[in-house]
Amino acid sequence: MNLTLSRERLGTLLGAARGKRIVVIGDSMLDVYLTGDADRISPEAPVPVVRVRGRQQALGGAANVAQNVVAIGCRCDLVSAVGEDDGGERLRALMGSQGIETGALVRTSRPTTVKTRVVARSQQLVRIDEEDDADFVGAENDALAASALAEIDVADALVLEDYNKGVLVPSLISQAIEAARARGIPVVVDPKFRNFFAYRGATVFKPNRRELEAALGAAVVVDEGSTLPSALKRLGVQHLLLTLGERGMVLVSEDGTMVRVPTVARGVYDVVGAGDTVTAYLAAILAAGGTVSECAIIANIAAGIEVGKLGAATVSAEEVLAYADEHALHA
């Protein structure tokens, strides 16, 4: 089955997405990049000495999905946990500067997740993770659930962005999906291993191949007719969108249809952040009234643009339209 989308329909959907309210629930983190030179080995240990020349901060995890949502032209309310520390203050400030609504953030006693990468000559030498990834419990879990339900009550679409850092515990997942289904709004899930099978009832479930294979405990043969439909049934979701990197995507639906969406990547092929771009576009176009097939086409175009940029980057609606014009997209 081939998927097609006219330039007119693309413009209509992107226009309808503008201003829609997307709620993103999940694990946020602060990404720090220290860049410099490494010209000698330390006399203290057999490790390179890096003279830092630059320091950059970026939004990671659910916060990166949120800034992708904003780049499309939607409003984004982020439900996440932020510590009462310097990392938390930097994370909140960066979110605010990107136009993300921060009123639904929950301050917690645990430290903010910070991932620091040390890079020399374009080579990452080490990554330092400062985090506590245990599930939230008690009052903090209750606060996250209350914040999530309040935001879902006024949302046009819901994203559950799981990085296994403790926000999306099974009770919150089930409450959020139940609330979204009661309101008739779509639910997009970007899963990780810990709660992989806890998202029954979601509209679109978007793992990559490695994540799906880890959860199923077996290699996934994409072209084998029964593999993905059986996974869809086991997950209990309406649509399974499996991302395959440079091989594009495969969309499997409850009605038995399975379609391949080839990649449109050009130039540089840097996959960092591409999954977050796909997740954001799925939610935005579903909120705009698009079909899941239309969402897959548009998200795939956006991903192809994103991987043509270095590092995690956002993709605007204008960039997607420019791509369509450049490639004479038609029905």
CB 170 within 8 A of CB 36: no
CA–CA dist 25, 167 (Å, integer): 8
Query: 3-state DSSP call for residue 154?
Result: coil
One-letter identity of residue 64: N
Collect all residues with Cβ–Cβ distance below 8 Å to 137 and sequence separation of at least 6: 169
Q: Smallest Cα–Cα separation from 317: which of 4, 5, 16? A: 16
Active site residue 276: yes
CB 286 within 8 A of CB 264: no
CB 290 within 8 A of CB 188: no
Out of 135, 255, 276, 325, pick the active-site residue: 276
Query: 3-state DSSP call for residue 275?
Result: helix
Collect all residues with Cβ–Cβ distance below 8 Å to 200 and sequence separation of at least 6: 177, 235, 236, 237
H-helix segments, the chain:
7-17, 62-72, 86-97, 138-152, 170-183, 209-216, 227-235, 274-287, 292-306, 317-326
Active site residues: 276
